[in-house]
Each structure stands twice: as C-alpha cells, then as structure tokens.
Amino acid sequence: MSAQDQIITKGSSRPARLQVDPDTIGDDDKPPQSGTVFNIWFLKWSGGDSSRKNFTKSKFRVNIKKDVGYTKASGQSPICLFFARGCCYLGKKCKYLHRLPTENDYFPPTQDCFGRDKTADYKDDMDGVGSFNRVNRTLYVGGLHSKDNMENVLTKHFQEFGSIEKIRVLYNKGCAFVTYRLEAEAQFAKEAMNAQSLDDDEVLNVKWASEDPNPEAQRQEQQRRENDAMKMVQNLLSDVPKGGSRKRKQVEGQAQEEAKKAKSQHVPKQITQSDSHHTNENSFFSKASLDALKAARMNPSKPSVATKAKKLPIVNYSSDDDD
C-alpha cells in the first residue's frame, strides 16, 4: 500500500510549488483588531463585541492544479495543513504530503487527514477537527450571498477538492450543506474553503454539519452504512484464512533472547497449549464455505503481508509461557 502511495505522490513529477515566499512573511501576524485582548497562543483577538467579529478573508488559497507536487513526505504521512490553506512556505522541503486525499489513503479514525487528533465531541461551534464518534462527510457553509443558482457556484468551487455527493442550499438562510464522497475530502475542503470567497467578495464560514434531521436523508445514510458494513464483512470473511499470524508483544520483553534464537532458526520454538486456539482460528468455517469465499474474494487486501506471513513462521509466545 505504501508503495502504491509513493507512486501517486512521486507520480506527480514536479516538486511541490512554494505557495508563499518565506521572505514576504511579516514578523507580525496579528489579524486586524476585532477584540480587546490579543491571545498570542491562538493568534486571535478576544473580548469586545462578538457580534462585530469581522470575518476577514484569507490572504491565501490553495490552487490544486498548480500546487500539487512531491515533497519529502513518504506515503504514510498526513497531508500538509498549510498546503490546504494555501500557505505552505516549505514547498518540496515540506515533510507532509502536498496533494489531495484519495480513496486508498489510510488515516486512523482518531485523526483527520492532516494528522490532528479528533475529539469525542464536536466543539460547541462545530468548528475544529471534528469527532471520532461520527463519520461526517458533510460541511456547513455559511455566509453565502444568495443568488439564483448557488448549487452551480458551490459545485464549481468545492469540486476542486473531491467528489461531491450532494449540495443542499437553504436560500432563505444564506447557507448550504456540501456532502463529499469521503470524509477526508470533507476535512480537506473544510480547511481549504474556510474564510475564502466564492465568485463575490463574501467570506465563507465553513464548519461541520450536524446530523440531518430529514428522515429521508437519515434513511439514505443508514442504507449506506449497511452497505459499507456488508462489504466490510465480505472482505473480512474472505481474509480470515490468513489468521494465525497473531503475535503478542510486551513492554519489557523478557523472552527476547529466546525469541531471537527462535527467529534465527526459523522454527517456532515454543508451541504450547496457548497456541492451539490461535492456530486453528479458522476452523469454524466449513471447508465448502471457505472455498466459496475464496473464490468470491473481492479484493485481496495487502497481498504482501499475507505472503510474508506464510513465509515466516511466527513465534507465538505469551506471558504465561515464560514462567
């Protein structure tokens, strides 16, 4: 998988463009005053009249076509947050990816595509990194100037960052909901389009959407989740035969020496009772069904790992065996 990613990143033959010249960055990055006290940790003004809080338009904006390129990042790295905001001054020296998230990328569910930790709940204003308890592919876009064909305008600006599944505009409220196909695309678009403007000089306010109260939409979401679960179970059942590669690790490896020895001899030295239930892990499938599943295997994920597991006899040792 990492090799494949590398091809994707290295496939773009150009180096990532410098989005901002480091020399032009001023020493003082205070935004225009909108409060009484400046919080140096959050680079924000606080206090004062919150209704007067002016949303200043961002000075930078990512241009995917121009800015994508290879960096020093490897396939597993997260995506560069500053690249998404259009202000990475490191260019090809950046340690993070300068490209869009794709379907094949793996981001742990506890982090977003920029490698930031998610929290259990959303912030009260639905801004920020988001929650790990819900897969949210929908963004709230506020601050629209209502025109007749907002769907088209939003499509034009938001499809740059991924496949749009649905756009719903609330004309009387001046806001819209944009649903992407992937969660990572929504995460990227949220950073890329926040404090940007569409065709006019409005300043968008992009946040996470809360759950759609429309029963039809909820039914669709449920349907989608069930389909995903179905697909996943199919994959899982077709992958089960490669089990038995279970291993145990300890913080203080008491069995280091023994294990080393065993490894060098390529012989599992300690086969004890505790192994038995690991090794016959797949025996609960009837043989016929296993064969059927094998035949119907949709995509054998991680073939490299599977072959590796076959070649190397895995040493099963657990804490019970050491004493």
Partner 1 sequence: MSNQVGDEFPALCEKCLGDDQHLKMMKHANGDECKICTRPFTVFRWKINDGQSKFRKTVICVTCARARNSCQSCMLDINYMIPLDLRDTALKMAGIEGFTSSKYISNSTNREVKAIMADKQETEFRNIETDSQADRAKAMLEKLARKFEDNASALVKKPSRNDHIDKEALKQLKSAEIKKLVRELPFNGKIEIPEVETPATSFFIFGFPQDMPQYSLSDYCKKFGKLKLLNIVQRARCGFVSFTTSKAAQEFARSIINNGLNKNASRPGLLILEQKYPLRVSWSDRKSLGHTNEEHHKLSLICTRVMKQLAGQEKKTEAVTRNSSKPKSSGSQTAPSSNQDKATTATYNSSKLDFEL
Positions touching partner 1 (CB under 8 A) are 2, 74-77, 95, 108-110, 115, 117, 119-121, 132, 134-135, 148-149, 151-152, 155-156, 159, 163-168, 171-172, 181, 216, 220, 223, 225-230, 232-233, 236-237, 240, 245-247, 249-251, 253, 256, 259, 263, 274, 277, 281, 284-285, 289, 315, 318-320, 323
Distance (Å, rounded) from C-alpha 275 to C-alpha 281?
Answer: 10
Give the nearer residue to partner 1 in terms of CB position, either 134 or 297.
Answer: 134
Tell me the HSE value of 184 on the side-chain side, using a 13 A CA sphere. Answer: 20
Distance (Å, rounded) from C-alpha 211 to C-alpha 200?
Answer: 29
Give the nearer residue to partner 1 in terms of CB position, either 60 or 212.
Answer: 212
Give the nearer residue to partner 1 in terms of CB position, either 157 or 190.
Answer: 157
Give the nearer residue to partner 1 in terms of CB position, either 39 or 227.
Answer: 227
Give the nearer residue to partner 1 in terms of CB position, either 35 or 142.
Answer: 142
- Structural tokens at position 177: 């909901």
In angstroms, what is the minimal distance from the CB of 32 to partner 1?
Answer: 34
Give the nearer residue to partner 1 in terms of CB position, either 14 or 225.
Answer: 225
In angstroms, what is the minimal distance from the CB of 233 to partner 1?
Answer: 5
Give the nearer residue to partner 1 in terms of CB position, either 121 or 200.
Answer: 121
Contact 131, 210 (CB under 8 A): no
Distance (Å, rounded) from C-alpha 68 to C-alpha 84?
Answer: 10
In angstroms, what is the minimal distance from the CB of 228 to partner 1?
Answer: 6
In angstroms, what is the minimal distance from the CB of 26 to partner 1?
Answer: 30
Distance (Å, rounded) from C-alpha 273 to C-alpha 271?
Answer: 7
Give the nearer residue to partner 1 in terms of CB position, either 55 or 132.
Answer: 132
Q: Is 165 helix (H, G, I), strand (E, B) or coil?
A: strand
Q: Which residue is associated with the tokens 């649905």?
A: 166
In angstroms, what is the minimal distance from the CB of 64 to partner 1?
Answer: 16
In angstroms, what is the minimal distance from the CB of 144 to partner 1?
Answer: 13
The full DSSP string for 177-199 is EEEESSHHHHHHHHHHHTT---S
Contact 47, 90 (CB under 8 A): no
Q: Which residues contact 108 (CB under 8 A, 6 or more apart)?
A: none
Distance (Å, rounded) from C-alpha 105 to C-alpha 5?
Answer: 8
In angstroms, what is the minimal distance from the CB of 143 to partner 1?
Answer: 18
Q: Is 38 helix (H, G, I), strand (E, B) or coil?
A: strand
Distance (Å, rounded) from C-alpha 45 to C-alpha 30?
Answer: 9
Distance (Å, rounded) from C-alpha 97 to C-alpha 1?
Answer: 16
- Structural tokens at position 21: 């010249």
Give the nearer residue to partner 1 in terms of CB position, either 45 or 82.
Answer: 82
* The one-letter amino acid at 256: Q
In angstroms, what is the minimal distance from the CB of 196 to partner 1?
Answer: 20
In angstroms, what is the minimal distance from the CB of 21 to partner 1?
Answer: 27
The residue among 136, 153, 150 whose CA lies nearest residue 190 is 136
